[in-house]
Amino acid sequence: MSARRTGAASAATLIAVALTALGIDASLGVDAREEVRRHEGDAAALEAQRVRVLRENEASGRVAARVIAGTLPLVGAVDELEPVLRERTGFASAWADDPPPTFRHRVARSILARVDAELAHDPARRAAVLARLDAEYAALR
């Protein structure tokens, strides 16, 4: 008879432990699902930001190529990129140590920096293009 009681007690204990574990698992499941949803939201926002930055980079690359080729003057490049860069978080604070006089000048500086980087492999062409752009920058309003 004592064997049955021990078995019954063991079964009851096992059932209680199992139910407790299921309850904890269900509670963790709700918390985990909420955390997964939060991370999915963060991931979606980061993906949207990544895509936006890639598109901005492609656009500035196309503009820089036209500026380098001489088919687009600096003022035209500024006109094209200003709306895009106005939306870029943190861009308004670029060059904090030497702030440009206007936002358009800030955009022009970013174009000059992109052209400089694009032509780093060709110093002679880089010097000629940047000399032309420095004159255009001086005339920028």
DSSP states along 23-62: HHHHHHHHHHHHHHHHHHHHHHHHHHHHHHHHHHHHHHHH
Number of domains in the chain: 1
- The arithmetic mean of pLDDT across residues 120-137, rounded, is 97
| Full domain range(s) for residue 130 | 2-139
pLDDT reported for residue 60? 92
Query: Above pLDDT 90, what percent of the chain?
Result: 48
Please tell me the distance from the alpha carbon of residue 17 to that of residue 3, in angstroms, as a whole number. 21
Per the model's pLDDT, the better-predicted residue between 7 and 95 turns out to be 95
- Does position 2 have pLDDT exceeding 60, yes or no? no
Per the model's pLDDT, the better-predicted residue between 101 and 34 turns out to be 101
- In three-state form (DSSP H/G/I as H, E/B as E, the rest C), the secondary structure along 67-131 is HHHCCCCHHHHHHHHHHHHHCCCCHHHCCCCCCCCCHHHHHHHHHHHHHHHHCCCCHHHHHHHHH
- Does position 136 have pLDDT exceeding 70, yes or no? yes
